Amino acid sequence: MIRLHWHPFSIVPRRVRILLREKAIPHEEVEVDVLRGDHRAPEFRRLNPFAQIPVLEDGDLVICESVAIMEYLEERFPEPSFLSRDLAARALTRQFMLWSGDYFAGPWETWMAPAFAPEAPVDTAGRDKAYDNITAHLDVLERRLTNRDWLVDRYSLADMCYAPLVTVFDRVELGHLISARPALAAWVARLCERPAVQDTFPPLVPLSLPKRR
Amino acid sequence: MIRLHWHPFSIVPRRVRILLREKAIPHEEVEVDVLRGDHRAPEFRRLNPFAQIPVLEDGDLVICESVAIMEYLEERFPEPSFLSRDLAARALTRQFMLWSGDYFAGPWETWMAPAFAPEAPVDTAGRDKAYDNITAHLDVLERRLTNRDWLVDRYSLADMCYAPLVTVFDRVELGHLISARPALAAWVARLCERPAVQDTFPPLVPLSLPKRR
C-alpha cells in the first residue's frame, strides 16, 4: 500500500496528492501534525532525517523529496502519463519542477510568515523583497505561458508542482498578481478545473496577512 | 554541440562537469564571470531568467537546474549509465540528488560567505548554525554509507551531486568532519579516485575562513 505523509497547510505535499488523484492510485494519507512539531519527533525522523513532508512509503521503500516522489509515481504507475517521452520536453518539465521549489519556497515562506507567527514583529523589508521575487517569478511564467496552455506540451508534473502555490494566491493577498497577467490567469483557471486540484484545496481558514506597503 | 555555462568557484556546475567526463560527452565549457556579475547580465538572463549557473545548451535547447541537466544527459547519452533501472534505486538516487542541494546549499553559502566578502562582518551565529546543519547532514550520509560503497547501489548521479562539496571540505576548515566519520571518509577517498572528479577540482586559492569557535 502507498502511504503519503502530509499536512493540509503545507504547500509541497499537495503536489503529490494531486498526482495520486490524477493517476487514481489507491493510497492512504497520513496527517503529520507539523503545527505541533510531530515532523521533528524521532519516529518521523526515521522516515525523513531532515524532518520534512511529504514522505511516501511504498511497502518497505521510503522516499523523501516531492520531486523524487513524483518521478517515482510516474515510473511505477505510467498511465496516464504526466511526463513526455520527448527528451527535450522531459528536461524542461524537470526544470520547471525544480524552479517551482528553488525560487518559490523561500519567498513564499517569508511572505507567509506573519500567518504562522502573528505575535512576531513583521519583517517588512524581507516581505517586500519576497514580493518582488514572487512577482519576477510570475513574469517568467507569464512569458512562458503566452500562447501555451501548459508549461510544457500537455498538462504535466511541472504544472502540478506550481498548482499548490498559484491556486491559493487569492487567499494570501497575492491574487492581483495573477489577474494582472492574462496567460497566467488563464492557466490558473485551467488548473482549477482539474478535479484533482479541486479535491486537494486546503481548508479555508481566516488568515491575517499584511498586504504589501 | 553541447555547451555548459559554469564558473570554477561555483560548486553546482561541477556536478555536471563530472558527469560530462564520466560519459565522455564531447562538449564546450563557457566560463561565466560570476565574480563580475555576468550571470545577472541581460544576455545570460535570456538563458536563465533566475541568473544561475549551470545552464546547458544542446543546439536550440536550453536547460537550467543541475538536476534536470543531469537527468537529460543520462537520457540523451545512456551509456555508461549512472542511474539504476530499478525503480526503488532510481527514487533513492533522486532523493539524494535533491537532498544534496536542498539541505546543503544554504548552510554551505553561509559557511563560505567570509571567503567572498572578507570586509563584511562575520555572522558568527549564522555560521555556527550552518556548521551544525552540515554536521547533521554528514551524520545522515555516514549512516547511509556504513557498509556501502556508494549512496545507492553503484556509483551514480547521487554521488556526483555530493562530490563537489565533500571533496573540498579540507580546503574550507571542514575536513575534520569527514575524517571523523569512517564510512564518509572512505567514500570521499573513492570519489577522489575518479579521474572525472580529479579533472574538475577548482583551482587552489588561499581562502581566509574563520574556523568554528
Chain B CA closest to residue A72: B91
Query: Which residues of chain A does B92 touch, with a Cβ-Cβ cutoff of 8 Å?
Result: 63, 68
The residue to which cell 491559493 is assigned:
A168
Per-residue pLDDT band for B119 (boundaries 50, 70, 90) equals: confident
Residue of A nearest to B99 (CA): A65
* pLDDT bucket at B186, cuts 50 / 70 / 90: very high
CA distance A102 to chain B (A): 8
What residues in B contact A87, CB-CB < 8 Å?
Answer: 72, 75-76
The Cα–Cα gap between B118 and A52 comes to 34
Residues of A in contact with B98 (CB under 8 A): 65, 67-68
- Please answer yes or no on whether B98 and A49 come within 8 Å at the CB atom: no
Q: Whose CA is closest to B159, among B180, B182, B186, B132?
A: B186
Is the pLDDT assigned to residue A154 strictly greater than 80?
Answer: yes
What is the pLDDT, as a whole number, of residue B211?
Answer: 80
A7 φ, ψ (degrees, to nearest 5):
-150, 140
The pLDDT of A133-137, averaged and rounded, is 97
Q: Which long-range contacts (CB under 8 A, 24 or more apart) does A176-185 make?
A: A177/A134, A177/A135, A177/A138, A178/A138, A181/A138, A181/A139, A181/A141, A181/A142, A182/A142, A183/A142, A183/A145, A183/A146, A183/A147, A183/A148, A184/A138, A184/A141, A184/A142, A184/A145
Model pLDDT, residue A187: 98
CB contact under 8 Å between B76 and A64, yes or no, is no
Give the 3-state secondary structure of residue B41. coil
Are residues A68 and B95, on separate chains, in Cβ contact within 8 Å?
A: yes
Give tens-digit pLDDT for B69-93: 999 999 999 999 999 999 999 999 9
Find the mean pLDDT for residues B171-183.
Answer: 96
Look at residue B213 and tell me whether its pLDDT is greater than 70.
no
- Residues of chain A that touch chain B, judged by Cβ-Cβ distance less than 8 Å: 49-50, 61, 63-65, 67-69, 71-72, 75-76, 87-88, 90-92, 94-95, 97-99, 101-103, 136, 140
Distance CA B94, CA A76 (A): 15
Residue B121: is its pLDDT beyond 70?
yes
Residue A52 to chain B, least CA–CA distance (Å)? 11
d(CA A16, CA A21): 9
Partner-chain residue, chosen from A64, A90, A102, that has the shortest CB–CB distance to B75: A90
Say if CB A165 and CB A139 are below 8 A apart. Answer: no
**% of chain A surpassing 70 pLDDT:** 100
The yes-or-no verdict on residue B18 having pLDDT over 90 is yes
Integer Cα distance of B87 and B90 in angstroms? 5
Smallest CA–CA separation between A206 and chain B, in Å? 31
Residue whose cell numbers read 522516499: A63
Nearest Cα residue in chain B from A101: B102
Distances (CA, A) of B187 to A115, B12, B146, B151, B163: 44, 19, 10, 9, 10
pLDDT band at A213 (very low <50, low <70, confident <90, very high): low
* pLDDT for residue A27 is more than 80: yes
pLDDT of residue B177: 97
**Mean pLDDT rounded to a whole number for chain B:** 95
**Chain B residues within 8 A (CB-CB) of chain A?**
49-50, 61, 63-65, 67-69, 71-72, 75-76, 87-88, 90-92, 94-95, 97-99, 101-103, 136, 140
pLDDT per residue as tens digits for the range A36-60: 999 999 999 999 999 999 999 999 9
Nine-digit cell string for A32: 503529520
Rounded to the nearest integer, the mean pLDDT of chain A is 95
Inter-chain residue contact B65 with A103, CB threshold 8 Å = no
Structure confidence at residue B117 (pLDDT): 85
Give the Cα separation of B204 and B195 in Å (integer). 17
pLDDT in tens, A170-212: 999 999 999 999 999 999 999 999 999 999 999 988 777 888 7
Minimum distance, in Å, between the CA of residue A90 and any CA atom of chain B: 8
Contact B50 A98 (CB under 8 A): no
Q: Residue B190: which pLDDT band, with cuts at 50, 70 and 90? A: very high
Sort out which chain B residues have CB atoms less than 8 A from A97's CB and list them. Answer: 68
Question: Can you tell me the ipTM of this complex?
Answer: 0.96
What beta strand segments (E) does chain B contain?
Answer: 2-6, 27-31, 55-58, 61-64
Q: How far is B47 from B62, CA to CA, in rounded Å?
A: 7
